[in-house]
Chain A
Amino acid sequence: MAKASSTPSTWARSEPMEDAFQTEAQWYDGTNALRHEGKLTWDGHGGFRLAGPTSEQAFATEDLRYAETRRGKLVYRRESIPDFRLILPDDLPAGLAAQLPRKSEYGAWVDKLGLGRAAAIFGAASAAAVALFLTAPAWLGPRIPESWERNIGHAMIGDFGGRLCETPAGTAALDKLVAKVDPGKVKVRAGVANMGMINAVALPGGQVLLFDGLVQQAESPEELAGVLGHEVGHVRERHVMTALLRQFGLSILLAGTDSRVTNSVFGLASMGYSREAEREADDYARARMAESDISPLGAAGFFDRLAKETGEDEDTPALVGWIASHPSSAERAKAYRSSARKGKTYPPVLTEEEFAALKSMCEDDPDVEEFDLF
């Protein structure tokens, strides 16, 4: 197959340059499976001629496209007749080879650049894209308008369909507490969830939930103010949006393996913060409490109890969720205690009655639903 043409050509034109510009050829015309054999000749001015006993045709050089390489053969097709196939031996005379379209190997871009350079350029671009993708939540999160976040949060979780505890007196007490730790014009929406776990979460859309378990074990309203201030801090410092973006990015990466993307609203809200973010939220809470004259000693007492209950190695399961993602409780208790001003007497943040109303809110709400969906 790979031998050069030496037999006399089957057509009449015979020029001295002929051998350099012609070769044996096989072709299929794309309309049926019959194989034609003959010669391919470059006509010297921008065209090819195919001629054999069973078929003859002429076409422009730029109509020819490279298709593939077989062992010892090159395959071309025609742009105007995509099913046409021309098969040539791969030891082409130089003159003819110069007229044929260039081989393509990897794809247009890589062929143009060369494998090594293309790999280096793609590698650099990919590294930059990965870096951008990994850091995007941190710098993009705080720049997303709060109103957008509220809409996203509303779309994701809405109003919990009646699973929040509500009584007139309890709600009023909670609102009073929120007003003291959240200076924003549009207040964070806070609620007490009918759930026995000792936990609190900040959710997308400026929504904070205290779990009834946490409210029940609180010994003073100052403790609740501390926890509430901390979660409001997550909202105001835009940690929630950052975590949401991180989760979203992860879900894109994992889209191939697991598409249940939105399943872990709570997972994201309660576990998605870095220790640094936790510290920021604590700082935020202490600053607001100082502004509003709330004693930080209540919160310090709360962390003392947490530290004692969890101890060195005996974990109290209900508390693990809160502990795992936060700085050590003893350290936090110390930070809160040292933020108290010596000799100052703080007024109680809620009255006895208000605190009691908050505590009995879930018990007193006649039509609250069980929080059992997760």
Chain B
Amino acid sequence: MEYDNNGQGDDSAFAFEGDWREFAKIAFPNLLLTVVTLGIYRFWATARERRYLWSRTRFVDEHLEWAGTGMELFLGFVMVMILFGVPYFGMTFIAQALIARGYEALGVALGFIALTSIFYLGGVARFRALRYRLSRTRWRGIRGGSDSNGFLFGLSYMWKTIVGTLPLGLLIPWSMTSLWNERWSKMSFGPFEFESDAEPGEVFARFLLFYLAPFVFFVGGVVMAGMGTLAGYGIGGEDGMAIGGIAAIIGLVLFFYLGLGLIAVAFYAKFYRVVVGSTRWRDLHFSFEASTRDWVKLLVVDAVLVVFTFGIGLIFLSYRHWKFFMTHLEAGGEILLDELTQSETRTAKHGEGLLDAFDMGAF
């Protein structure tokens, strides 16, 4: 089977065929059950949502299937609480007790260890969340996974994040792309591994916007403030000038926050175009074509949806985000169905790995 299409449209490799009214019939009962069970149902709710979203997503000529269950997410949560939550609680308790007894240095050191382990486990969790999602995704009966347990990735995550942030954050594009490459290169679907070789140089220019921004905003802001004040003076003399000045300052603050937010969105838009575009699987290459404008539209509509429904719109965000992701994801290349055999990653051999369910958001 050969497939090569990088354009938008009906014959795109990935297509989302969901309908928000159908999704609402899943999301509202989920909300009800989650409320009456004090949140415990949310694991089953997540599984139901994903089953719907995956089943309405077509890749080439077959729909995806989500094979994960609510129970395994719940058990994963319980395991994580017992294996990591309780020791963390104990460590902070002992740290506090040591400080109260006058062993400040020891107490602080123990507290530091507790925080470091949270940092480390955050990296492991990012790896495992992706592994979990791939291993529960079926296409033509075939699933993905990883042979790595993510513990080494946790170490990489720690040192690369620290090194990336230390020189005034200048190496963050490097740490982000390098961690993306490392994470995806350890993943596989069927018998074939993913490969990723994203270059930090491609996102670096966008990243520099963060450094230029304060300068540009300051100059722009001063000009605007001056103009606002003058305009106020023109309209209403001295009083008008004061009002114009205040309005200018409010405008400046808004401009600053919105401006920084916009730069962050612009950076992430570019980042995802670059890293997804550098990711390959066998003879298949991927691309993600969402522009900054698409992202802004997504986020603004998200905010409007949530605010004007007094928060109820929150239950539709997972739908919107999945749809956004699938609409802009493209793939081209060739898949030989004969050689696409079942994944032999560990999950299959040892049953459901419970810790896989340490699921925080994979992408």
Q: Which of A34, A119, A156, A259 contacts B97 (CB 8 A)?
A: A156
CA distance A275 to B321 in the complex (A): 50
Q: Could you say which of A157-165, A300-308, A314-322, A333-341 contacts chain B?
A: A157-165
Q: Is A257 an interface residue (CB 8 A)?
A: no
Q: Is B99 an interface residue (CB 8 A)?
A: yes
CA distance A260 to B70 in the complex (A): 30
Residue of B nearest to A26 (CB): B62
- The answer to whether B38 and A130 touch across the interface, beta carbons within 8 angstroms, is yes
Q: Which of B66, B71, B100 contacts A373 (CB 8 A)?
A: B100
- The answer to whether B29 and A75 touch across the interface, beta carbons within 8 angstroms, is no
Q: A68: which B residues are within 8 A, CB to CB?
A: 51, 55, 65-66
- The answer to whether B89 and A118 touch across the interface, beta carbons within 8 angstroms, is no
A-B contact pairs, 15 of them (CB 8 A): A28-B140, A33-B141, A71-B56, A85-B138, A85-B141, A106-B29, A107-B71, A115-B32, A119-B32, A156-B96, A160-B100, A259-B89, A262-B93, A265-B100, A373-B99
CB distance from B225 to the nearest CB of A (A): 38
| B-contacting residues, A16-50, CB 8 Å | 28-35
Q: B102: which A residues are within 8 A, CB to CB?
A: 160-163, 369
Q: Is B217 an interface residue (CB 8 A)?
A: no
Q: Is B128 an interface residue (CB 8 A)?
A: no
Residue of A nearest to B48 (CB): A106
Q: Is B160 an interface residue (CB 8 A)?
A: no
Residue of A nearest to B95 (CB): A262
CA distance A159 to B102 in the complex (A): 9
- The answer to whether A261 and B340 touch across the interface, beta carbons within 8 angstroms, is no
CB distance from B70 to the nearest CB of A (A): 6
| A-contacting residues, B81-99, CB 8 Å | 85, 88-89, 92-93, 96-97, 99
Residue of B nearest to A110 (CB): B33
Q: Is A99 an interface residue (CB 8 A)?
A: no
Chain A residues close to B by CB (< 8 Å): 28-35, 67-71, 75, 83-85, 106-107, 110, 115, 118-120, 122-123, 126, 129-130, 155-163, 255, 259-263, 265, 369, 373
Q: A259: which B residues are within 8 A, CB to CB?
A: 88-89, 92
CA distance A248 to B141 in the complex (A): 48
- The answer to whether B342 and A83 touch across the interface, beta carbons within 8 angstroms, is yes
Residue of B nearest to A129 (CB): B38
Chain B residues close to A by CB (< 8 Å): 17, 29, 32-33, 36-38, 41, 44, 48, 51, 55-56, 62-63, 65-67, 70-71, 85, 88-89, 92-93, 96-97, 99-104, 138-143, 190, 335, 337-342, 348
- The answer to whether A106 and B101 touch across the interface, beta carbons within 8 angstroms, is no
CA distance A158 to B99 in the complex (A): 10
Q: B89: which A residues are within 8 A, CB to CB?
A: 259, 261
Residue of A nearest to B67 (CB): A67
CB distance from A358 to the nearest CB of B (A): 24
Q: B56: which A residues are within 8 A, CB to CB?
A: 70-71
CB distance from A181 to the nearest CB of B (A): 26
CA distance A260 to B91 in the complex (A): 11
**Contact A84 B141, CB 8 Å, known A32-B340, A70-B63, A122-B33:** yes
CA distance A262 to B99 in the complex (A): 11
Q: B340: which A residues are within 8 A, CB to CB?
A: 32-33
CB distance from B7 to the nearest CB of A (A): 25
Q: A84: which B residues are within 8 A, CB to CB?
A: 141
Residue of B nearest to A32 (CB): B341
- The answer to whether B96 and A262 touch across the interface, beta carbons within 8 angstroms, is yes
- The answer to whether A33 and B33 touch across the interface, beta carbons within 8 angstroms, is no
8 interchain residue pairs of minimum CB distance: A161-B102, A28-B141, A33-B340, A123-B36, A33-B140, A262-B96, A158-B101, A122-B36
Most chain B beta-carbon neighbours within 10 Å: one of A32, A33, A71, A161:
A33
Q: Which of B37, B48, B337 contacts A32 (CB 8 A)?
A: B337
CA distance A263 to B96 in the complex (A): 7
CA distance A106 to B71 in the complex (A): 12
Residue of A nearest to B18 (CB): A71
Q: A118: which B residues are within 8 A, CB to CB?
A: 33
- The answer to whether A33 and B67 touch across the interface, beta carbons within 8 angstroms, is no
CA distance A119 to B32 in the complex (A): 7
